[in-house]
C-alpha cells in the first residue's frame, strides 16, 4: 500500500515535470525578440547600417526593410543566411531598399531554395524586376557556370499591399498601417502580433494618428526620430526647404514624446535617429519634456529588445 502511494506520488511529480518542460518549450518556441540590424539613415555612418529591423518569433525571422549592409548584420546577429520567412518594406526610399539586391542574391548563394516572400508598397514589383534584370548576367553565370547555384533559387514572390492585415500564419499577424511620409504616395508602418508580444514599427513617417492608434499599449514601439533644434536652414544648399522637408517627412523628439504619451507603449525604441550633431540624451530629454514617462531606449545596431 505504502509503495503504491509512493509510486503514485512519483507519477504525479513526473507529470508535473513533463508539463513544466512542455510549457517551457512552448514558451521558448514563441519567445519574441526585436533585433535592430540597422539603425542608420542615408548618412553612411560606419557604426549604423541602413534601416533593417527583425522581429524574431522562436526560430522564425521577419525582416522589416533592407538597408545597406543588411546581410552582414543578419550574419552578425546569428540569423539564418538563407533568408527570412518574409520581408516587409515600409517604403521605397533608397536607404530602406539598398540591401534588397543583397537580400535576394546573397540568400540564394547561401542556399535559399524557396521564393523570397516580399511585401511592400506598389512599385516593389517593378523594383524587384529591375534588380533581377540588373544582375541577369551574374545569375546566368552562377547557375550555368561552375558554381552550379540552385536554379531559380533567387526567385521573389512580390506582394504589393494596401492597409490592413497583410500576413497571417501560424500565430503571427502583420498589419500594414498607412503613414504620412512627405510626397511618397505610399508609406507604411507595421504592427506585428505574435503569441507573446505586440510590436509596432513606424518606418519613416511624420507624426501619424494611424500609427498612434495602432500602438495603444503595445509591448514595443520602434519609431524614427530627429532632433528638432538641429534643423538649420544654413546647413544645406537650398536649405530653405529643409525645415519643411523634416516636418512633412519625419517626427521630431517633441512630437514623438507627445505621440508616445498618448499611445503608452511599454517600450519606446528609437531607430533611424537623425541627431544633427546632437546626442541621444538630448533626444530622450525632449521626449520626456513632451510628456512620455515610460521606458525609452536609443537603439543600436545588433541590439536585442
Comparing CB distances to Zn ion, the nearer of 184 and 292 is 184
CB of 216 to Zn ion, least distance (A): 25
Answer yes or no whether residue 272 interacts with Zn ion by CB under 5 A.
no
**What are the grid coordinates assigned to 137, written together?**
548576367
Q: For Zn ion, give the closer residue by CB, 89 or 167.
A: 89
Active site residues: 95
CA–CA separation, 48 and 46 (whole Å): 6
Cα dist. 186→87, 180, 258 in Å? 17, 8, 25
Shortest Å, Cβ 67 to Zn ion: 10
Stretch that binds Zn ion, among 30-38, 163-171, 202-210, 260-268 (CB under 5 A): 202-210
Contacting range for Zn ion; rule: CB under 5 A; set: 85-93, 193-201, 214-222, 273-281: 85-93
Interface with Zn ion, residue 223, by CB under 5 A:
no
> CB–CB of 108/153 below 8 Å?
yes
Residue number, 97 or 107, with CB nearest to Zn ion = 97
Judge contact between 175 and 164, C-beta under 8 A: yes
In the list 204, 219, 224, 301, the residue contacting Zn ion (rule: CB under 5 A) is 204
Q: Which stretch binds Zn ion (CB under 5 A): 77-85, 92-100, 113-121, 146-154?
A: 92-100
Pairwise CA distance, residues 213 & 202, whole Å: 12
> Which residue's CB is nearer to Zn ion, number 51 or number 83?
51
| Residues facing 35 on adjacent strands | 54, 304
The yes or no reply on residue 93 touching Zn ion (CB under 5 A) is yes
Pick 142 or 272: Cβ nearer Zn ion: 272
Closest separation in Å from C-beta 259 to Zn ion? 18
Q: How many residues bind Zn ion (CB under 5 A)?
A: 2
Least distance (Å) between residue 160 CB and Zn ion: 18
CB of 211 to Zn ion, least distance (A): 15
Q: Which residues contact Zn ion (rule: CB under 5 A)? A: 93, 204
Amino acid at each position: 500500500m505504502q509503495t503504491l502511494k509512493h509510486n503514485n506520488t512519483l507519477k504525479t511529480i513526473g507529470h508535473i515535470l513533463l508539463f513544466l518542460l512542455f510549457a517551457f518549450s512552448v514558451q521558448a518556441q514563441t519567445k519574441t525578440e526585436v533585433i535592430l540590424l540597422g539603425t542608420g539613415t542615408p548618412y553612411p555612418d560606419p557604426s549604423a547600417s541602413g534601416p533593417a529591423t527583425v522581429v524574431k518569433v522562436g526560430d522564425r525571422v521577419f525582416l522589416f526593410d533592407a538597408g545597406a549592409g543588411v546581410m552582414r548584420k543578419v550574419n552578425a546577429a546569428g540569423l539564418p543566411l538563407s533568408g527570412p520567412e518574409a520581408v516587409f518594406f515600409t517604403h521605397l526610399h533608397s536607404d530602406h531598399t539598398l540591401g534588397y539586391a543583397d537580400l535576394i542574391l546573397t540568400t540564394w548563394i547561401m542556399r535559399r531554395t524557396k521564393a523570397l516572400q516580399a511585401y511592400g508598397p506598389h512599385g516593389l514589383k517593378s523594383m524587384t524586376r529591375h534588380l533581377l534584370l540588373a544582375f541577369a548576367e551574374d545569375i546566368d553565370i552562377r547557375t550555368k557556370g561552375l558554381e552550379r547555384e540552385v536554379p531559380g533559387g533567387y526567385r521573389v514572390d512580390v506582394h504589393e499591399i494596401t492597409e490592413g492585415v497583410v500576413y497571417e500564419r501560424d500565430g503571427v499577424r502583420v498589419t500594414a498601417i498607412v503613414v504620412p511620409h512627405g510626397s511618397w504616395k505610399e508609406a507604411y508602418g507595421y504592427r506585428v502580433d505574435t503569441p507573446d508580444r505586440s510590436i509596432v514599427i513606424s518606418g519613416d513617417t511624420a507624426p501619424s494618428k494611424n500609427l498612434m492608434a495602432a500602438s495603444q499599449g503595445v509591448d514595443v514601439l520602434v519609431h524614427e526620430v530627429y532632433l528638432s533644434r538641429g534643423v538649420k536652414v544654413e546647413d544645406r544648399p537650398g536649405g530653405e526647404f529643409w525645415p519643411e522637408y523634416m516636418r512633412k517627412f519625419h517626427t521630431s523628439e517633441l512630437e514623438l514624446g507627445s505621440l508616445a504619451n498618448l499611445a503608452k507603449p511599454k517600450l519606446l525604441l528609437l531607430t533611424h535617429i537623425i541627431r544633427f550633431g546632437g546626442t541621444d540624451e538630448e533626444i530622450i530629454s525632449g521626449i520626456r519634456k513632451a510628456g512620455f514617462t515610460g521606458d525609452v531606449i536609443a537603439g543600436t545596431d545588433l541590439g536585442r529588445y
